[in-house]
């Protein structure tokens, strides 16, 4: 029989465990505004809350949006478009930008990060590539001068096309032709403690190889998955395999980069597309985003290679954006229509209220994507084993399409 003292200690332990908060991952949403029919920023906060979001990523530093999020409690990431990179190499201009677009809104608007450029290294634009790292240094230096570098980090977003080999994750590496530009950025991440941002879209992998890629594997549906023969890690969804491919590429460059965290800055699935855009359906979008958000609401997001690192993910995107160029899919990544009704039901329930005031379960029709840029040039790159023998081209990287679509 247990002694009174041991029973007392056990009771204290149980009480302590019960008092611990329920640990879940933070849900991030990309809020793009390439449209002429969207509601004002102040009206999007209930929509964000309805899907459990706590983090929002903008594609610029829109003053109206920054004012709207004042006092909202959301953590905001703002962005500096590729067209401004050359200017930000000038310390004076960088400081002016930070003071006008960031410092002016603090502390009521909780800005936590600045993304300098989007998918620059894979843009095949040498001038942009040359300006990227100096621009990051310029913005970081401005934050230091303003005393904000401890609360706001600086980073940039990459497509998965920065990878050379992408399957299996344990065999991945960064493209050699990009290392001279990428290595200083990785050193910057190590020095400042900032994460590397990756735009990852399993949709593109499926679209390009629907006969070889398991739809259940890319949609977070029950499936047998695959085991990486090099690491013996098992994967049951493509997104985690894509993330671990980047982690392995970091490890391959050098041991000093093992502590650089990854943030998935964009991932999503279109609810509609052109006839040749295989997989761009409302049902697939519902499954991909619904399953992903439910995973983030229920547990920490951790991949096999970095089981100790919580993975932050930003879903693309809040709205369908009717002025985006490119194929039909580009205008159909949104969780919501411009009138605030859900594009499809995510199958989740929160305590928040819908913009119309009703209790939210993100239900809605089963119909048919900031200020600056939004989306990725592609997000394939990791493919699970298939029943048929794949060609060498099938196993190679395909994370970026030849024609850049989202930006």
Gap between the Cα atoms of 168 and 230, Å rounded: 8
DSSP-based three-state secondary structure for 251: helix
> Nearest-CA neighbor of 329 among 291, 276, 381?
276
- To 5 degrees, how large is the angle CA 309–CA 47–CA 41? 100
Interior/surface letters 37-63, b for 16+ CB within 10 angstroms, e for the rest? ebeebeebbbbbbbbbbebbbbbbbbe
- C-alpha separations of 48 from 51, 78, 296, 333, 335 in Å: 6, 16, 15, 15, 10
CA dihedral 290, 294, 295, 298 (to 10 degrees): 180
Q: How far apart are CA 245 and CA 251, in angstroms?
A: 10
DSSP secondary structure of 91-103? HHHHHHHHHHHTG
Is 266 designated active site? Answer: yes
**C-beta separation of 320 from 273 below 8 A:** no
* C-alpha span between 118 and 400 (Å, rounded): 13
Active-site position among 119, 208, 321, 330: 119
User: What is the enclosing helix (H) or strand (E) of 243?
Assistant: helix 238-253
Bridging pattern class, strands 234-235 and 153-159: unpaired
- CA neighbor of 25 nearest in space, from 300, 256, 269, 356: 300
Active-site residue (options: 75, 208, 266, 321): 266
Alpha carbon distance 351, 362 (integer Å): 11
Catalytic positions, written as ranges: 119, 266
């Amino acid at each position: 029989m247990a002694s009174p003292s041991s029973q007392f200690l056990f009771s204290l332990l149980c009480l302590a465990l019960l008092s611990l908060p329920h640990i879940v991952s933070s849900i991030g949403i990309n809020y793009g505004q390439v449209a002429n029919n969207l509601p004002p920023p102040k009206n999007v906060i209930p929509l964000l809350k309805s899907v459990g979001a706590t983090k929002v990523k903008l594609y610029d530093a829109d003053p109206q949006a920054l004012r709207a999020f004042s006092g909202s409690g959301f953590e905001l990431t703002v962005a500096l478009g590729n067209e401004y990179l050359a200017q930000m190499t000038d310390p004076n201009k960088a400081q002016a930008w930070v003071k006008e677009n960031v410092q002016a809104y603090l502390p009521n608007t909780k800005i936590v990060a600045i993304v300098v450029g989007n998918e620059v290294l894979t843009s095949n634009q040498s001038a942009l590539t040359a300006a990227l790292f100096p621009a990051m240094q310029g913005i970081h230096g401005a934050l230091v001068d303003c005393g904000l570098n401890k609360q706001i980090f600086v980073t940039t977003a990459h497509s998965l096309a920065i990878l050379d080999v992408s399957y299996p994750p344990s065999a991945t590496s960064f493209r050699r032709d990009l290392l001279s530009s990428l290595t200083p950025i990785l050193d910057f991440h190590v020095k400042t403690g900032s994460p590397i941002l990756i735009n990852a879209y399993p949709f593109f992998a499926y679209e390009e190889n629907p006969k070889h890629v398991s739809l259940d594997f890319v949609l977070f549906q029950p499936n047998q998955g695959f085991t990486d023969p090099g690491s013996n890690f098992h994967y049951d969804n493509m997104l985690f395999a894509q993330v671990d491919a980047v982690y392995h590429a970091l490890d391959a460059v050098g041991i000093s980069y093992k502590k650089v965290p990854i943030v998935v800055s964009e991932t999503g699935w279109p609810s509609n597309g052109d006839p040749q855009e295989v997989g761009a359906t409302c049902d697939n979008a519902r499954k991909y985003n619904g399953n992903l958000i439910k995973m983030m609401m229920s547990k920490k997001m951790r991949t096999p290679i970095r089981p100790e690192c919580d993975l932050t993910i930003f879903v693309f995107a809040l709205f369908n954006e009717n002025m985006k160029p490119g194929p039909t899919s580009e205008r159909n990544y949104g969780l919501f229509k411009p009138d605030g009704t859900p594009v499809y039901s995510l199958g989740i329930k929160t305590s928040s209220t819908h913009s119309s005031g009703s209790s939210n379960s993100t239900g809605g029709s089963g119909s048919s994507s900031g200020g600056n840029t939004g989306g990725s040039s592609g997000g394939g790159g990791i493919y699970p084993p298939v029943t048929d023998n794949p060609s060498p081209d099938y196993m190679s990287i395909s994370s970026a399409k030849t024609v850049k679509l989202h930006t």
